[in-house]
Structure 1
Amino acid sequence: MTLDELTRISNLSPSHFINSFKQTLGVTPHQYLLKIRIERAKEKLQSSSLPLSEIAYELGFTDQSHFSRHFKKITGIPPLKWKQNFVQK
């Protein structure tokens, strides 16, 4: 869903919707969506041997670099390092 769709459904202006969302969940809608995408990426990294570029594409990131940047920002480590740590455990 887009922000426009969410604001139309909620009958709020975009700024009021974003502020209400952030007050309720502690993050903006965009940050929330990124966290969900990264959680799905973790599942894919655990269960498949797909290349990062394919995982990035499947989860809606513009490219592997965009995906890796956000993955590291949220988890603290790059996706391949995260996968190596998970596989070793």
Structure 2
Amino acid sequence: MNKREVQFYSDRLNITPKYLNSICKLNTRITASEWIQRYTKERILLYLQNKNLNISEIADEMNFSSRSFFTRYVKKILGVTPREYRERL
């Protein structure tokens, strides 16, 4: 999973993003957007634990447009940069 937009998944299911979010919320109390963000966070954490991969490789694997965008995204969801997270391991 390297797509982080509800639109991508709703298109695959032939439903609207709003409807996908609402049925997820109704059944799980969590929107599709939140599910995507949770899964993305878990994958990032797993990749960061693998010290054989550098930050640019992880950004590429996760389909981020650049390393700097990946770093900003990680800082937003983890509160630290990818490098800082690795230093704490």
Asked if TM exceeds 0.5, the reply is yes
Over the aligned positions, Cα root-mean-square deviation in angstroms equals: 2.2
Residue-pair matches, total = 81
Rounded to whole Å, the distance in 1 between the matches of 2:65 and 2:34 is 16
Higher helix share: 1
* Residue 32 (structure 1) aligned with residue 39 (structure 2): no
* Residue 79 (structure 1) aligned with residue 82 (structure 2): yes
Rounded to whole Å, the distance in 1 between the matches of 2:68 and 2:25 is 27
Query: Alignment partner for residue 4 of structure 1, among 2, 6, 11?
Result: 11
Does the Cα contact within 8 Å between 1:35 and 1:74 map onto a contact in 2?
no
Ranges of 4+ aligned residues in structure 1 off by more than 4 Å: none
Task: List alignment gaps of at least 5 residues for structure 2.
Answer: none
Q: 1:6-85 maps to which residues of 2 (within 5 A)?
A: 6=13, 8=14, 12-23=15-26, 24-27=28-31, 29-85=32-88
TM-score by length of 2: 0.70
TM-superposed CA distance for 1:50, in Å, is 2.0
Q: Closer, same or farther in 2 for the Cα pair 1:22/1:62, shift >3 Å?
A: farther
TM-score by length of 1: 0.70
Task: List alignment gaps of at least 5 residues for structure 1.
Answer: none
Q: Please say which structure displays the higher CA radius of gyration.
A: 1
Q: Closer, same or farther in 2 for the Cα pair 1:25/1:53, shift >3 Å?
A: farther
Which structure is richer in relative contact order (CA contacts within 8 A, separation 6 or more)? 2
